[in-house]
Amino acid sequence: MKLWEKSVQVNKDIDRFTVGRDREMDLYLAKYDVLGSMAHITMLESIGLLAKDELQQLLAELKNIYAMAERGEFVIEEGVEDVHSQVELMLTRSLGDIGKKIHSGRSRNDQVLLDLKLFTRAEIKEMAEAVEQLFHVLMMQSERYKEVLMPGYTHLQIAMPSSFGLWFGAYAESLVDDMMFLQAAFRMCNRNPLGSAAGYGSSFPLNRTMTTRLLGFDSLNYNVVYAQMGRGKMERNVAFALASVAGTISKLAFDACMFNSQNFGFVKLPDDCTTGSSIMPHKKNPDVFELTRAKCNKLQSLPQQIMMIANNLPSGYFRDLQIIKEVFLPAFQELKDCLQMTTYIINEIKVNEHILDDDKYLFIFSVEEVNRLAREGMPFRDAYKKVGLDIEAGRFSHGKEVHHTHEGSIGNLCNAEISELMRQVVDGFNFEAMQAAERALLGR
């Protein structure tokens, strides 16, 4: 069934090529296509394009289809082009001609725009929750190990004293910035394109403000041409936010793999998160973090993939945009899986509390000695030269303690301030409005 098909049947090879993976990808959107249709027909009844009893029959059947999609039982049948066609077909089978009325005042163009936005904002909510869970585990470990020193590195050379409090806390604060990016993406996503139809509006007196309220959007995509121009742009902007989260997780995974190796020995990963070798009995490989690193590096390429698909397209709809679904829709679950794995391992990770007992790390205290001499009155450059000459002559020694007090340093992690920043960002999403609207539509 094709909503656009008339007297000429399309060539089967052309059909296979143009439909591509759309049936598979559209399963991600099934629930949201139903929600959009419920809002749309409620609006159609308000402007006289549906009778009240017709609306009630359609809403009841759409709720059944929604429940089917929630249970994972929704399928797009062979020969049916997409999720929009499948939903309309199911309504028509159940209700006859009433099912054919739901498409008044819209196009599949604004339907898929709407579905993508409803799907994406729901996925951003789940993503934000997963990021917040990892954040809290990192902060817990930062507090737990804030007194345990470790070497800090620049150029992969031992540099200055650091601490596990700083290391865990650094990734926690990085996630705050990532969440700010995610919130900005959510705000751009949470605007209603429904009613833009094929990109030029409709001669029906559509009430777009009503569907915006029914679906819990912050506002409209007002200009109907821009609503269509947003296809690809929304996905790209959200992909940048996902890539930001992925960049943080990838770096953390690299650190954890390196620090777990015998040559470092800073941390020990949980045994149930490592794998063995088929030939070397002693091996405990950090495969989970290696795969996490690879997946997150791949996700960081997502904005570029989307840009290259949508690049140089003029205004209006083009079938090129269909391909964006294939890289965009599965990306959320892949990143959520990485976040889940990382949260579990960081919660279970064991820290070596005696790293600095080894005198090979003695020179990381050289700056501490320079600063001590400077505090006692020696010019900084003279103190730097004295300590450097002592190191060259083998005379350097220093106690393995530090006394840092400024904001964000070993002795003053500012974890409370970082946690407050995260709380403010999380509160700023206002997911409650979209959830309340969806519950109201579904009568829950």
Burial of 291 (0-12, 13-18, 19+ CB in 10 A): middle
Going by their DSSP bridges, the two strands 219-220 and 191-192 should be labelled as parallel
Identity of the amino acid at 89: L
Instruction: Enter the pTM of the model.
Output: 0.92
Give me the sign of the Cα torsion angle 295, 296, 301, 302: positive
Does some domain include residue 413? Answer: yes
Dihedral in degrees, nearest 10, Cα atoms 373, 378, 379, 381:
-50
Point out the domain boundary residue: 32, 66, 101.
101
The pLDDT assigned to 423 comes to 97
Same domain, 114 and 88: no
The residues facing 191 across adjacent strands are 219
Same domain, 52 and 132: no
- Identify the CATH number of the domain in which residue 52 sits: 1.10.275.10
d(CA 233, CA 216): 21
The pLDDT assigned to 443 comes to 92
Same domain, 30 and 161: no
Same domain, 66 and 179: no
Same domain, 70 and 158: no
Same domain, 229 and 347: yes
Which ranges of 329-365 would DSSP assign to H, the alpha helix? 331-348
Measure CA 178 to chain center: 9
Task: Report the percentage of the chain scoring pLDDT > 90.
Answer: 84
Does some domain include residue 3? Answer: no
Same domain, 132 and 253: yes
Q: Which residue bears the tokens 């569907």?
A: 211
The pLDDT assigned to 22 comes to 76
The pLDDT assigned to 316 comes to 85
DSSP annotation of 412 reads B
Does some domain include residue 436? Answer: no
Does some domain include residue 333? Answer: yes
The pLDDT assigned to 4 comes to 43
Question: How big is the CA angle at 375 (ends 374 and 380), to the nearest 5 degrees?
Answer: 15
d(CA 293, CA 254): 7
Same domain, 143 and 274: yes
SS3 78: coil
Same domain, 199 and 337: yes
Same domain, 271 and 321: yes
DSSP annotation of 80 reads -
- The CA–CA distances, whole Å, from 44 to 38, 51, 68, 148, 434 equal 10, 9, 24, 64, 21
d(CA 236, CA 234): 5
pLDDT in tens, the chain (444 residues): 455 455 566 667 676 676 777 788 899 999 999 999 999 999 999 999 999 999 999 999 999 999 999 999 999 998 898 999 999 999 999 999 999 999 999 999 999 999 999 999 999 999 999 999 999 999 999 999 999 999 999 999 999 999 999 999 999 999 999 999 999 999 999 999 999 999 999 999 999 999 999 999 999 999 999 999 999 999 999 999 999 999 999 999 999 999 999 999 999 998 887 777 678 777 788 899 999 999 999 999 999 999 999 988 888 888 888 999 999 999 999 999 999 999 999 999 999 999 999 999 999 999 999 999 999 999 999 999 999 999 999 999 988 889 899 999 999 999 999 999 999 999 999 899 999 999 999 998
Tokens representing residue 153 in the block: 């590195």
The pLDDT assigned to 8 comes to 60
Q: Quote the number of domains for the chain.
A: 3
C-beta separation of 324 from 232 below 8 A? yes
Same domain, 308 and 412: yes
Same domain, 135 and 198: yes
Q: Which residue bears the tokens 């709407």?
A: 114
What domain range is 364 assigned to?
Answer: 359-393
